[in-house]
Amino acid sequence: MRAVNRSSWPVWVGALAAFSGLMVWHRAPQLSIAPSFVTGYILFALVVFLALYSGRKRLSMLPVGKASVWLTLHLVGGALALALFWLHVETIWPLGTADRALAVLFYGVCLSGVVGYGLQLWLPGRLAHAGREIIYERIPTEIATIRGQVEKEILEAAGESGNDTLGREYLETLAWYFAQPRFFWSNALGGRSAEHWLQRHLTTIGRYLTEAERVHLARIAELGAEKRRADAQYAMQALLKRWTMFHVPLAVAMLTLAVWHLILVHVFAR
Amino acid sequence: MNVHAPTMVRPHRWDVPFDSDMSDADVDALMATPVVASVRAEEFPAHIPLRGILRNDARIVSFQPGDIVCREGDYGNSAFLVLSGAVRVVLAPSLPRKLLGRQEVHKKGFFESLTQLFTNSRIPEVRDTERYRNIRAQSRGASGAETHIFIQDVPAVLDQHRTVTLPIGQIFGELAALGRVPRSATVFAETETRLLEIRWQGLRELHRYDPGWKRLIDENYRRNALHGVLRTNPLFAGLSAEDLQAVADQVKFKTYGAFDWHVSYKQMRETGAAGDEPIIAAEGLVPDGVYLVRAGFARVSVRFGSAQRTLAYLGAGDQFGLDETYESWKTGKPARRLNSLTGLGYVDVLRVPSHVLEKYVFPNLPAPPPPAPPVDRPIHDDAFAEWLVDERLINGTQVMLIDLDRCVRCDDCVKACASTHGGNPRFIRHGRIFDQWMVANACMHCRDPVCMIGCPTGAIHRHETAGVVVINDDTCIGCGTCANSCPYDNIRLVEIANPSGDPIVDGDGRAIVKATKCDLCVEQLGGPACARACPHDALSRVSASTLVEHAATTTPEATAP
């Protein structure tokens, strides 16, 4: 797993100092303004700032700072937002349906963010050493090519031997494997299910084949291993892409509910 | 023997002449001109006769008054001989970019940059065809075969710029053609002019076999360029004008490898067979001077096991062999070369002989450090550098290097490139991989940009101020010469469309294509959008000379506590 960027420590220290100052102020005995108003607005501003990171990705044509700096600020800001959230609600689980809904969304965004960042630290290194690098969008084509080669081997074996043993095995079991990416979670998490599955089926059929057919079976085994590498690329790249499908919609929903929360607070605080 | 094996006539050097219209009558007429008549035809080997060179490696080109023959900054692979008429060389000041048919690089402002958000077409590679009409008015051609950019107001150019006329019999352009350096001046036809254009292969033979041409070319180089080269080298910086002249008079010139090395390199990649590298200076022999690389690349290596181990590579301006030559002089005992120097593809070197150094340079030279001991580091430490040299990636000045251990495959770099280039990216996040390092298919803005050789309109050129290699979309005719020449497959030909999305075709219904590639965001604010858009600092644009260092400082071992 790749190490977290250590050059970001000044930002972390700054965030910690700011939060400590806010806590000291929050605990002061006599305040002229309700502390939850202040922490709420700071939290809201922080959440809006965090959402701007998504906007940065669409403004590549402008000199608005490096995306890596924005990511660091996003991570530090996210951690600060969680701490501020607890300071603001003064509990982990607030009362009231609307507040709980907001808390669920907030925790959902935090959790998906942490998981996503964890995946970003963990998976690239594995991807880099998982065989041939394939662009995500090209993986289906790659698998189709492999499938075509397997079917060619099957046809050649049948033509040479006059037996349909390998062809039947392909239709009954192997076709499923070569049809599309398989063993998603096993491949994503570094398991070896696909390897074992393939080994089991190829060994089983091997005893019924002639010497000439076994040559084709060996080639199919090689293609199976190639397919497994493509599947691993697919699974890991899919995870790296899909986590944002939770994080971003949850963030949008949370931000919308936060605006509603702000309106309600102002209406009922009078 | 298999009787059904397909057969073909064995290919020969002159199967494809420079100009198939060259006739025996043309060659006879050329043989009668004083410059060609002075060539000693008997010195040429039977398989490369002088008439053959003229017939196959040369062509006669006609220019109208004002036609530009070659432009300052262009890369070319041929030289010219004035047969009739007159041409003028623009000495100073240089002609403005627009007059040369070059693209004016306009840096976008903040709001102009922002509007790309809304103005980028959803259809890739949309072009405004009206725009091409202006540039077409600036070019003309003979039956579509030859197209020249021309100067509309020649008298104004003569008024405002210092120029000199080259008379009949004068040769020009040979330094750029043989030395693989940009043309140093713009040349245009002053009157109706006929020039003999000789491609570099023929020029090389003339230089090799005819003492007169060799002397002429070498003298041109000594007179026009050598002093500048020597002055920039610290070894000769302190010499008086007389001593520098004496050194310059005794410098030897030599070219190794093929000028079109990218062709053999591509074949080597396809077949997997390693090509032989020409030996410039061999390990173990007595040093015979210092070698200065003028153009191209050379490999410094040492014998290791049954192969050569790369220690370094040298590019233009680098030198080799000082330590041992100095050691020999200082101790009075002949030293031996510790390393070999071999040509990588194409290399043009100057050799300053030992006796010249001993007389003019060494007496006043502070002692250089003694020759470095043999390398004692593990071979794995050099594996990345070795790979870079083998893949010829050393040519890049702006290599797109992606650390795959950091890259989360989000394609933000690709999206950023697309958003700054009209909706279509100018690179592919795919490429050659060594360990965790990927060199993506993005233009590297090479030190030796072979893509520029042969561009018929000069559309692909090095931007004079930014230094990057750019394509002028207005003058690109989509011939694909640059894309075929690029050894790294970093130039794409794209079919263009009008704003409605209809493909633009010619009269025969064939699609109009344009060459596209990374322009390093030369028009954008803030530099390359790809590098700025990477959230994990996985993508960087680095010079080949710092690639190894860069990789070493960002590996997990280097960044671990």
Q: With a cut of 50, say whether residue A257 has pLDDT above it.
A: yes
Structure tokens at B135: 């540039």
Residues 239-268 of A with CB under 8 A from B: 240-241
Q: Computed from CA positions of residues A103, A106, A110, A116, in that sequence, does the dihedral angle turn out positive or negative?
A: positive
Q: What's the pLDDT at B3?
A: 46
Q: Which residue of B has its CA nearest to A128?
A: B404
The full set of domains in chain B, from first to last, is 1-101+149-209 (2.60.120.10), 233-376 (2.60.120.10), 387-559 (no CATH)
Q: What is the pLDDT along chain B (561 residues), one digit of tens a residue?
A: 444 555 545 556 677 778 888 999 999 999 998 888 888 999 999 888 999 999 988 999 999 998 999 888 777 778 999 999 999 999 878 888 777 766 666 778 888 888 887 788 788 888 877 777 655 545 444 344 456 778 878 888 888 888 999 888 888 988 887 766 778 889 999 999 999 999 877 887 888 889 888 888 888 888 777 887 888 888 898 889 899 989 998 999 888 887 677 777 887 777 766 667 889 999 999 999 999 998 889 999 998 888 888 888 898 889 999 988 998 998 888 888 989 999 988 888 999 999 999 999 999 888 777 666 666 778 888 888 889 988 999 999 999 999 999 999 999 999 999 999 988 999 999 999 998 999 999 999 998 888 987 777 778 887 766 678 999 888 788 899 899 999 999 999 999 988 888 888 888 888 889 999 999 999 888 889 999 999 999 999 999 888 877 776 665 444 443
| HEC-encoded secondary structure of A22-68 | HHHHHCCCCCCCCHHHHHHHHHHHHHHHHHHHHHHHHCCCCCCCCHH
**Which three-class secondary structure state does DSSP give residue A21?**
helix
Q: What's the pLDDT at A185?
A: 96
| ipTM value greater than 0.85 | yes
All residues at 6 or more sequence positions from B234 whose CB lies less than 8 Å from its CB, including other chains? none
Structure tokens at A28: 């002061």
Q: How confident is the model at residue A28 (pLDDT cuts 50, 70, 90)?
A: confident
Amino acid identity for residue A10 in this structure: P
Structure tokens at B508: 């025969």
For chain A, say whether B405 makes contact (Cβ under 8 Å): yes
| Cross-chain CB nearest to A120 (options B408, B433, B537) | B408
For chain A, say whether B535 makes contact (Cβ under 8 Å): yes
In whole angstroms, give the CA distance from residue A31 to residue A41.
16
Helix orientation angle between A244-268 and A97-128, rounded to the nearest 10 degrees: 160
**Shortest Cα–Cα distance, A246 to chain B (Å):** 16
Structure tokens at B273: 């067979």
Give burial (CB, 10 Å; 0-12/13-18/19+) of B182: middle
In tens, the pLDDT along A172-187 reads 999 999 999 999 999 9
Q: Contact B406/A2, CB-based, under 8 Å? A: yes
Residues A60-79, mean pLDDT to the nearest whole number: 94
For chain A, say whether B419 makes contact (Cβ under 8 Å): yes
For chain B, say whether A67 makes contact (Cβ under 8 Å): yes
* Paired residues of B387 in beta bridges: none
All residues at 6 or more sequence positions from B500 whose CB lies less than 8 Å from its CB, including other chains? none
The dihedrals phi and psi of B320, each to the nearest 5 degrees, come to: -145, 140
**Contact status, residue B323 vs residue B370, Cβ threshold 8 Å:** yes
For chain A, say whether B529 makes contact (Cβ under 8 Å): yes
* Paired residues of B511 in beta bridges: B505
**Contact status, residue A187 vs residue A228, Cβ threshold 8 Å:** yes
Q: Contact B114/A5, CB-based, under 8 Å? A: no
**Shortest Cα–Cα distance, A62 to chain B (Å):** 6
* A58-62, A166-170, B15-19, B329-333: which is most confident: A166-170
Q: With a cut of 50, say whether residue A260 has pLDDT above it.
A: yes
Q: What's the pLDDT at B2?
A: 46
Residue B176 CB-half CA count within 13 A: 25
Its pTM stands at 0.82
CB contacts, 8 Å: B532 with chain A: 60, 63, 65-67
**Shortest Cα–Cα distance, B1 to chain A (Å):** 27
For chain A, say whether B109 makes contact (Cβ under 8 Å): no
Q: Contact A61/B420, CB-based, under 8 Å? A: yes
In whole angstroms, give the CA distance from residue B221 to residue A25.
78
Q: What's the pLDDT at B447?
A: 86
In whole angstroms, give the CA distance from residue B85 to residue B92.
22
For chain A, say whether B120 makes contact (Cβ under 8 Å): no
Q: Contact B525/A125, CB-based, under 8 Å? A: no
**Contact status, residue B254 vs residue B214, Cβ threshold 8 Å:** no
- Output B138 or A103, whichever has higher pLDDT: A103
Q: What's the pLDDT at A239?
A: 97
Q: What's the pLDDT at A249?
A: 97
Q: Contact A60/B407, CB-based, under 8 Å? A: no
Q: What share of chain A is helix, strand, coil (3-state, %, to 5)?
A: 80, 0, 20
